[in-house]
Chain A
Amino acid sequence: MTNALVLEKLTASCGGAILGSSEFRGDLTVTVRKEEIVAVCRFLRDDPGLAFDMLVDLLGIDMYRPDGRFEVLYNLYSLKNRAYVRIKVAVEEDDCVVPTVSGVWTAADWHERETWDMMGIRFAGHPDLRRMYMPEEYAYHPLRKDFPLLGIPDSIPLPRK
């Protein structure tokens, strides 16, 4: 299944949700509206021709710019067609919430927890949005660009002697 075919099918069914698409080194990335992400994902999974039944990866990107500071990238794989596609949504800093896709693929559960932990992007409707790696009471999100590489002193309480 070629990228053009994926894009064509996606445009035909969810045309209103698509904001743009790009192809780089043979990888197709489709940008969709944040509100429509669950519907788009559900369509991509359930359409018999596309059948993107695996969520391989989900990540947040801090673009560190005034408009659309964050991006969330969904990396999907279709077992039937042996094809990848990437879906992207833009997230504003003052509205750092994306609808969860853990109802579409259970794999999103842990990936979204990791993205919340590392980027501070919340996933609305997530059943158990705990931090993945950092301690639960940790106040920062380390992969944000304004978090210093050396860390913040005293941000993790050490055991008392």
Chain B
Amino acid sequence: MASRADDVTKSRILAALEDQDTTVVVDDPLENTMVINMGPQHPATHGVLRLLVKLDGERVVACVPELGYLHRGYEKIAEASTYHEFIPHTDRLDYLAPLSNNVAYALAVEKLLGIEAPPRAQHIRVLCCEMARVASHLVAVGTMAMDVGALTVLLWTFREREKLMDVFDVLTGARFTTSFTRIGGLAQDWTPQCTAMLTAFLEGFGREIAEVEKLLSRNRIFVDRCEDVGYIAREDAVALGLTGPILRAAGVPRDLRRDKPYLIYPELDFEVITLTESDALARFYVRIAEMKESAKILTQVLRTMPEGPVHTRDTKKVLPRKERIYTRMEELIHDFMLINLGVDPPIGEIYQGIESSKGEFGITIVSDGTGQPWRMKIRSPSMVNLSSIPPMCRGGMLSDIVAIIGSIDPVMGEADK
């Protein structure tokens, strides 16, 4: 990568930046390359991403991303908490799509325990994942357009997202910190009110998304700033381990919902959107099309959702219902043991990945047989996708960087863990 083309120059850059934390001015700007520091507090970095950019005029010669400004040590916290206690922390990873993190974590622990949620819970989980994907993609599209100068789109996408937030509010009791899944099931059941709200949202969504698309796809400024910007070759994208819309925009039809199906995805009818242009504009189109596919999935799941429990009956592993804890001895004992000692997993290690809105969100759990994970690793798609910034930015213009970051759609809470 160009970022480490010459180590000597780079360490000098870093040393200079330590003394003077904004701009390094060299003696003669016409004779030398210039280094600027972008972030960690910069509106276009979508959080606390920091980039060191080396410029030759307005051309980017090299670019070094610096992560860790939002590192909260969740993997360490996981080792000190029981499997149930960690659920609220998963909300704070990808905070634009907390529900899909909840689902990913629950699936990982259930795989370790060897249990499966009942069909109704699986349907509701799919609804959660897809609503989270739409909510996250709406922000991605809106902020990307805003970064390159089209502010209206952000207002429109946020208006739509707000309707989903209202569904989350009614369903989980919170708009952002949902903590909705439980091991072996869900915190609450889906209600007819949620169905009504989601149906109302879906009725207008196709029209709204078409308007958003119309506003941008024929917008000359937007297209000029995104087309052929941030190109990455197919094989480079695979070697870098990129996932999600970036990989699919590069012509690789990889979608874990189809390739490594979980929940009830095999029963659903949806397309894996793949484009080949592999630039910022293609990523925008992939996201728009994926939202339409998600709406299709949501409609199907609402139609086929069965009645039944949303919890498995495995009393040794699943938290009992509150009303039973207060009235029955057996459930009280189980609740006490599960809360204090945690579930009783076998010794072993598992990996469970799901297709979140950013890409493959995976959790590796190494269990030593106690109620707390011995080691938990979060495979965050944002972190891996951010590693594509240096090759994407190289050779482009300084102003392309904001379009590129917008098209990658990183969430630093997830990238920094």
List the interface of chain A (C-beta within 8 A of B). Answer: 24-25, 27, 29, 53-57, 59, 61-62, 73, 75, 79, 82, 84, 86, 105-107, 109-110, 114, 118, 127-128, 131-136, 142-143, 147, 149
C-alpha gap A110/B379 in the complex (Å): 12
C-alpha gap A79/B248 in the complex (Å): 12
Query: Residue on B with the closest CB to A73?
Result: B364
Known: A73-B364, A143-B76. Contact between A107 and B241, CB under 8 A? Answer: yes
C-alpha gap A105/B384 in the complex (Å): 12
Q: Is B351 an interface residue (CB 8 A)?
A: yes
C-alpha gap A73/B3 in the complex (Å): 26
- Return B392 CB to nearest CB of chain A, in Å: 13
In the complex, chain B residues whose CB is within 8 Å of the CB of A133: 67-68, 71, 416-417
Query: Residue on A with the closest CB to B348?
Result: A24
Q: Is B349 an interface residue (CB 8 A)?
A: yes
- Return B353 CB to nearest CB of chain A, in Å: 7
In the complex, chain A residues whose CB is within 8 Å of the CB of B350: 24-25, 27
Known: A27-B351, A132-B68, A134-B71. Contact between A59 and B241, CB under 8 A? Answer: no
Q: Is the CB of A128 within 8 A of B3?
A: yes
Q: Is the CB of A107 within 8 A of B384?
A: yes
Q: Is B28 an interface residue (CB 8 A)?
A: no
Known: A24-B348, A86-B351. Contact between A106 and B236, CB under 8 A? Answer: yes
C-alpha gap A62/B366 in the complex (Å): 10
Known: A25-B114, A86-B351, A132-B68. Contact between A118 and B75, CB under 8 A? Answer: yes
Q: Which of B252, B366, B375 has the most CB of A within 10 A?
A: B375
- Return A115 CB to nearest CB of chain B, in Å: 10
Q: Which of A53, A118, A133, A142 has the most CB of B within 10 A?
A: A133
C-alpha gap A142/B77 in the complex (Å): 11
- Cβ contacts B128-158/A at 8 Å (1 or 0 each): 0000000000000000000000000000000
Known: A59-B364, A133-B68. Contact between A143 and B75, CB under 8 A? Answer: yes
- Return A135 CB to nearest CB of chain B, in Å: 8
| A-B CB pair tally, cutoff 8 Å | 97
C-alpha gap A149/B240 in the complex (Å): 32
Q: How large is the interface on B (under 10, 10 to 19, 20 to 34, 35 or more residues)?
A: 35 or more
In the complex, chain A residues whose CB is within 8 Å of the CB of B364: 57, 59, 73, 75
C-alpha gap A118/B236 in the complex (Å): 27
Q: Is B111 an interface residue (CB 8 A)?
A: yes
In the complex, chain B residues whose CB is within 8 Å of the CB of A84: 260, 351
C-alpha gap A52/B387 in the complex (Å): 20
- Return B265 CB to nearest CB of chain A, in Å: 14
C-alpha gap A59/B238 in the complex (Å): 19
- Return B166 CB to nearest CB of chain A, in Å: 35
Q: Which of B111, B351, B383 has the most CB of A within 10 A?
A: B351
Q: Is B414 an interface residue (CB 8 A)?
A: no
- Cβ contacts B321-350/A at 8 Å (1 or 0 each): 000000000000000000000000000111
C-alpha gap A12/B118 in the complex (Å): 42
In the complex, chain A residues whose CB is within 8 Å of the CB of B308: none
Q: Is B377 an interface residue (CB 8 A)?
A: yes
Known: A25-B348, A134-B68. Contact between A106 and B360, CB under 8 A? Answer: no
C-alpha gap A62/B373 in the complex (Å): 12
List the interface of chain B (C-beta within 8 A of A). Answer: 1, 3-4, 7, 14, 67-68, 71, 73, 75-77, 79-80, 111-112, 114, 236, 238-241, 252, 254, 259-260, 348-351, 353, 360, 362, 364, 366, 374-375, 377, 379, 383-384, 387, 416-417
Can you list 12 residue pairs at the A/B interface with Cβ under 8 Å?
Answer: A25-B112, A53-B239, A61-B375, A62-B375, A82-B259, A86-B349, A106-B239, A109-B387, A110-B383, A133-B67, A133-B416, A149-B76
In the complex, chain B residues whose CB is within 8 Å of the CB of A82: 259-260
- Return B247 CB to nearest CB of chain A, in Å: 9
Known: A110-B387, A132-B68, A133-B416. Contact between A56 and B4, CB under 8 A? Answer: no
Q: Which of A107, A134, A135, A142 contacts B387 (CB 8 A)?
A: A107
- Return B38 CB to nearest CB of chain A, in Å: 18
- Knowing that A57-B364, A57-B379 are A-B contacts, what are 17 other residue pairs whose CB atoms are under 8 Å apart, sorted by A's residue number? A24-B350, A54-B241, A55-B241, A57-B362, A79-B252, A79-B254, A86-B351, A105-B240, A107-B241, A107-B387, A118-B75, A128-B4, A128-B7, A133-B67, A133-B417, A142-B73, A143-B76
Query: Residue on B with the closest CB to A149?
Result: B80
Q: Is the CB of B67 within 8 A of A57?
A: no
In the complex, chain B residues whose CB is within 8 Å of the CB of A57: 351, 362, 364, 377, 379
Q: Is the CB of B75 within 8 A of A106?
A: no
Query: Residue on A with the closest CB to B68?
Result: A133
C-alpha gap A107/B243 in the complex (Å): 11
In the complex, chain A residues whose CB is within 8 Å of the CB of B76: 142-143, 147, 149
Pairs of residues from A and B, 5 with the lowest C-beta to C-beta distance, nearest first: A107-B241, A133-B68, A24-B348, A133-B71, A59-B377
Known: A25-B350, A133-B71, A133-B416. Contact between A105 and B239, CB under 8 A? Answer: yes
In the complex, chain A residues whose CB is within 8 Å of the CB of B14: 136
C-alpha gap A114/B375 in the complex (Å): 15
